[in-house]
């Protein structure tokens, strides 16, 4: 009796919060109820300002929105989920024969030489074994004076390597920057426009933008930067003109962290890989992107994607792929269970341990096992 009353109460709350009844009826499972309640509780306690949740399991959909997110169309700053999106745009050129994964980067950026740089390949950049750092030592300085992406590229080309290329794994946002810059070199097109034409438009991701695109800053969900990473501004009043919420950062279109999207749009994106639809990539290319590229002994990474069970939550299969974002986001897909999970929050990833996104992700994973 208590469980029936609990589920009835949850359904009533869900309907008042805006769930479409037909979708609720299709997948009203106890674990998904619990997942939604975690985010609602986090909002009610004011830990989280805004959040959305999207789950697709074998074609059945579940969508919720919370706090200042007024619908599933709410657009969040994705953080590092930007990486696989921008790498996907790059890989459309691979499909066209414009480059090979084992091409040395210096083929496209001749100035990228010295101290072993000549050996660094595009594949190594995309799987985080290049030796490049995550953030530049000059990161805050560049952002404080509103540097263009081209300046970040110039600094990344010259920054010291941390180790011999291919020797070990080191997560490297700057590797993604230089790899995706190859697309700009080949096409002569700014990364913001390139991602829009190669990914967002073909997949009908109408609530997504690399940078601001056609959207106004007021249309985007605010990040709670007071508990964020140092590179976000971390609540420093002196960083207001370059932190995650600033017009500068939101419009820059940094391929390592400044993409905006809604949860349903990210479902469309991951579906391209889960279902090998062939809309923007050849199926074999999509498959390669979500397959481990690193040698035994190094952390498994695909091309721009985190791969393996740890890309999701306990219960996910080794075929799982996805990414998290330091802005408080997570997106993963598990081909074995035919599930996509999208959790977007305004609470930075480092603000809470465990983070609500992790608790929700575990509930979703538990619901499909």
For the chain, percent of residues with pLDDT exceeding 90: 83
> Can you give the C-alpha Rg of the chain in angstroms?
20
Q: Answer yes or no: is 140 within a domain.
A: yes
Q: Answer yes or no: is 69 within a domain.
A: no
The per-residue pLDDT for 320 is 98
pLDDT of residue 14 exceeding 50, the answer is no
pLDDT of residue 15 exceeding 50, the answer is no
The per-residue pLDDT for 368 is 77
The per-residue pLDDT for 24 is 38
Q: Answer yes or no: is 17 within a domain.
A: no
Structural domain boundaries, residue 111: 76-367
Tens digits of residue pLDDT in 274-313: 999 999 999 999 999 999 999 999 999 999 999 999 999 9
The per-residue pLDDT for 59 is 86
pLDDT of residue 338 exceeding 90, the answer is yes
Q: Answer yes or no: is 46 within a domain.
A: no
Sign of CA dihedral 84, 89, 92, 94: negative
Q: Answer yes or no: is 45 within a domain.
A: no
The band of 1, judged by pLDDT with boundaries at 50, 70 and 90, is very low
The band of 244, judged by pLDDT with boundaries at 50, 70 and 90, is very high
Number of compact structural domains in the chain:
1
Tens digits of residue pLDDT in 202-239: 999 999 999 999 999 999 999 998 866 665 666 677 78
Q: Answer yes or no: is 44 within a domain.
A: no
The pLDDT of 75-79, averaged and rounded, is 98
The band of 367, judged by pLDDT with boundaries at 50, 70 and 90, is confident
The per-residue pLDDT for 2 is 34
Q: Decide: 251 and 211 in contact? Cβ < 8 Å.
A: yes
User: CATH number of the domain that 106 lies in?
Assistant: 3.40.710.10
Overall pTM > 0.85? yes
Q: Answer yes or no: is 28 within a domain.
A: no
The band of 27, judged by pLDDT with boundaries at 50, 70 and 90, is very low
The per-residue pLDDT for 20 is 47
pLDDT of residue 48 exceeding 60, the answer is yes
């Amino acid at each position: 009796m208590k469980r029936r009353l609990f589920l009835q109460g949850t359904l009533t709350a869900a309907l008042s919060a805006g769930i479409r009844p037909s979708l609720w009826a299709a997948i009203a499972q106890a674990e998904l109820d619990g997942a939604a309640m975690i985010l609602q509780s986090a909002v009610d306690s004011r830990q989280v300002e805004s959040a959305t949740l999207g789950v697709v399991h074998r074609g059945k959909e579940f969508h919720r929105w919370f706090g200042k997110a007024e619908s599933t169309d709410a657009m969040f700053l994705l953080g590092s989920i930007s990486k696989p999106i921008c790498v996907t745009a790059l890989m459309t050129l691979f499909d066209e024969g414009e480059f090979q994964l084992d091409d040395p980067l210096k083929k496209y950026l001749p100035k990228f030489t010295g101290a072993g740089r000549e050996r660094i390949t595009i594949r190594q950049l995309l799987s985080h074994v290049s030796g490049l750092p995550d953030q530049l030592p000059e990161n805050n300085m560049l952002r404080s004076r509103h540097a263009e992406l081209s300046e970040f590229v110039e600094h990344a080309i010259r920054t010291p390597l941390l180790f011999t290329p291919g020797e070990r794994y080191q997560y490297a946002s700057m590797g993604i920057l230089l790899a995706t810059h190859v697309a700009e070199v080949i096409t002569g097109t700014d990364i913001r426009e390139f991602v829009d034409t190669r990914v967002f438009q073909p997949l009908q991701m109408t609530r997504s933008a690399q940078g601001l695109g056609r959207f106004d800053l007021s249309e985007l969900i605010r990040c709670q930067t007071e508990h964020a990473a140092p590179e976000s501004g971390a609540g420093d009043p002196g960083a207001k003109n370059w932190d995650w919420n600033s017009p500068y950062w939101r419009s820059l279109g940094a391929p390592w962290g400044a993409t905006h999207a809604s949860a349903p749009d990210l479902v469309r994106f991951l579906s391209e890989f889960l279902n090998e639809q062939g809309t923007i990539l050849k199926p074999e290319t999509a498959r390669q992107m979500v397959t481990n590229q690193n040698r035994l002994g190094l952390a498994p990474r695909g091309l721009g994607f985190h791969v393996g069970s740890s890309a999701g939550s306990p219960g996910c299969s080794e075929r799982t792929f996805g990414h998290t974002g330091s802005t408080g986001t997570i997106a993963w897909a598990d081909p074995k269970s035919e599930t996509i999970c999208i959790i977007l929050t305004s609470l930075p990833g480092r603000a809470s341990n465990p983070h609500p996104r992790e608790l929700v992700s575990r509930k979703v994973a538990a619901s499909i096992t």
